[in-house]
Amino acid sequence: MKKNYVIAYVTFAIVLALVAYYTMETTEQAPVESEEQLTVNWSYDGETGPQQWMNVSADYAACGRGELQSPINIEVSNTAKEELDEEVKLNYEKALFEIENNGHTIEANSTTPDNSLMINDEEYKLTGIHFHSPSEHQINGQYFDMEAHLFHETKDGKMAIIGLFIESGEENKELAEMWANMPKDGAEAVKVLKNPINLDQLLPEEKNVYQYVGSLTSPPCTEGVNWFVLEQPIEMSNEQINQFSSIFLQNNRPIQQLNNRDVYKIELD
């Protein structure tokens, strides 16, 4: 009886040793995913550029299969003749921002909740601004030096974006502090601007816009975005434009097919 007990004890000990051995070996061989590996990477060129966005992640399928994609070329002579059945109004004042380099653009996130775009009495809160060089949209096949996108969102996640063309000219004083604090790479910490930006002063005097339904211009290329592209550009000095392009030489998505969408010309109140 004692002999059987010893044999059973030894057998049990051997089994435990084997389990511990294989557990350690599996743990050592299992790949540990770094934070970088877990991040879905996309870019504006090469193997992860716009033509491949839909293959970078299953979440980006709309980038390749969507029918309402942005940006587009706006042919002025082909805008819809009938009026847009929407009432659109801007509620813009001063806003504070914090800025960061997210690896794809300079992003300015609004910390002031009072600015909004009203569409048929539905409020779209301004969430932030980011920039592209050269412009993403075209007017009659022509690009501008840069384009700013002012993002707005409702409580239930509906999006509206104001596209703002930028051309070479006088120094843009409203964006001067933002440019002075522009992070050169994503390793730099988020910077909080000390002075508010007067958004009403940032926009051009004439507020004629081209409206159409499109998408985000970067992954995941979500559709159903209400676009308002201002016809009149604002100005930036060559130094300001070159400062941005020295960080992001080219971060614009190619023009997408219109696919029989209507483009309306309206005026923002």
Domains and CATH numbers, the chain: 55-267 (3.10.200.10)
Selected catalytic residue, list 104, 130, 132, 137: 104
- What is the model's pLDDT at position 13? 46
Q: How many C-beta atoms lie closer than 10 Å to residue 182's C-beta?
A: 21
| CA 2 – CA 138 distance, rounded (Å) | 90
For residue 94, pLDDT beyond 80: yes
Lowest-confidence region among 9-13, 97-101, 109-113: 9-13
| CA 216 – CA 255 distance, rounded (Å) | 13
For residue 231, pLDDT beyond 60: yes
For residue 92, pLDDT beyond 60: yes
Q: List the helix and strand counts (H, then E) for the chain.
A: 7, 16
Q: What is the pLDDT of residues 16-29, one digit of tens each?
A: 444 444 444 433 33
Residue with tokens 């730099």: 188
Residues 6+ apart with CB under 8 A from 208: 230, 231, 232, 265, 266, 267
Active site (annotated) includes residue 104: yes
For residue 33, pLDDT beyond 80: no
- What is the model's pLDDT at position 85? 82
Q: What global pTM score does this model have?
A: 0.84
